[in-house]
Amino acid sequence: MGGVVNTFGLLAGLVSLVLIGLGFPLIIFGERWLGYRWWPYMLGAGLGLVLLSIFITNDWASVLLAVLGATLTWGSTELKQQAVRAELGWFPFNSHKVKPPFEAVIKKWKVPNL
């Protein structure tokens, strides 16, 4: 059974692992400098990238956008938990965070939680 080995799935899995792994420091540093109230912007960016990925014909670009979008979408649900962990002293706490646009409106929304 000769033939060419298809490594696309293996490489896509490894790239996905790296992108998902980069989501952890993104959450830690994002919450530290921006705060958890940026979650709607992160959620919107993530869902937008996932949606954009279905219109991309290049397989690699589509995979990268979809995984990055899924990572951002998941990250938007983790920001509040990261804020709690920082308040507990598990991570450095920054009291001078950048306030998001429309913060008064965002405060009224329930933060998503997985």
Task: Give residue-wise pLDDT tens across range 2-53.
Answer: 568 889 999 999 999 999 999 999 999 999 999 999 999 999 999 999 999 9
Instruction: Record the pTM.
Output: 0.89
- pLDDT band at residue 1, thresholds of 50, 70 and 90? low
Cα-based distances in Å from 35 to 3, 31, 77, 108: 52, 4, 13, 16
- Domain segments of the chain as ranges: 19-106
| pLDDT, position 5 | 80
| pLDDT, position 71 | 96
Tokens describing residue 14:
């490894």
Give 34-38's long-range contacts (Cβ < 8 A, gap of 24+): 34/97, 34/98, 34/100, 35/79, 35/83, 35/97, 35/98, 35/99, 35/100, 36/79, 36/80, 36/82, 36/83, 36/111, 37/99, 37/100, 37/103, 37/106, 37/107, 38/79, 38/100
Give the residue with greater pLDDT, 73 vs 113.
73
